[in-house]
Amino acid sequence: MPRRGCIEMDNKADFSRKVRPRSDMANTRNYILHGLFFLLYSLFKYWSFPFSNLFRFAVIRLFGAEIKSTYISDGVTIWFPWLVKVGRNCSLNQGVNIDGYGGVTLGDGVRVAAYVCINSSDHDFSQPDVPISEQGMITAPVVIEDDVWIGNHVVINRGVRIGRGSVIGSSSVVTRDIPPYSVAVGAPCKVIRSRKPAKA
């Protein structure tokens, strides 16, 4: 049973990729919602005085994000906030960019350092005779479990699950799942050691 008020990790999440037509993303409803969201959010996005994160938190939550007690630094950008879940005691630092189109879930105690990019979608380019701009979008959810630390300038691609207690080194590119309690670095990101003590 999940702890009260916490984000429940969906261990049965569908991580299969889905190809969606561009009209599914670039429709009138999404244009209007994003227009209203960014119109209001831009008033507070770059404020850096004490407690300004509370204004950003309130706007993101107003537009449907399932977000608990989270520090949101200046310059954070969230697309499709209504498809984003963030647990308790998390921090999103300066310049973090989250693409929520395919679904993004952060557990409790997640630390996301400056200029991290979390992508739950990207362009389909499977048809060489069709301009990429006219092809669909490929989506798959991103799940970052409890107590994970993501270093500066990390890129996390769609369909990835980062296990509980893991550390991702700065400037890494995460293209596949990371097991719990791992230290992983590089582009592409690879596990270099476990945080768990070796058994005697």
Catalytic residues: 123
Which H helix or E strand runs over 52? helix 52-62
For 132, what's the count of Cα atoms within 13 Å in the CB-facing half-sphere? 5
CA distance 68 to 178: 24
Max intra-chain CA distance, the chain: 61
For residue 194 the two structure tokens come to 């476990």
CA distance 159 to 176: 8
For residue 17 the two structure tokens come to 């990729």
Peptide bond into 188 cis (omega under 30): yes
For residue 68 the two structure tokens come to 């608990």
Peptide bond into 131 cis (omega under 30): no
What one-character-per-residue DSSP string does 54-82 give?
Answer: HHHHHHHHHTT-EE-SEEE-TT-EEESGG
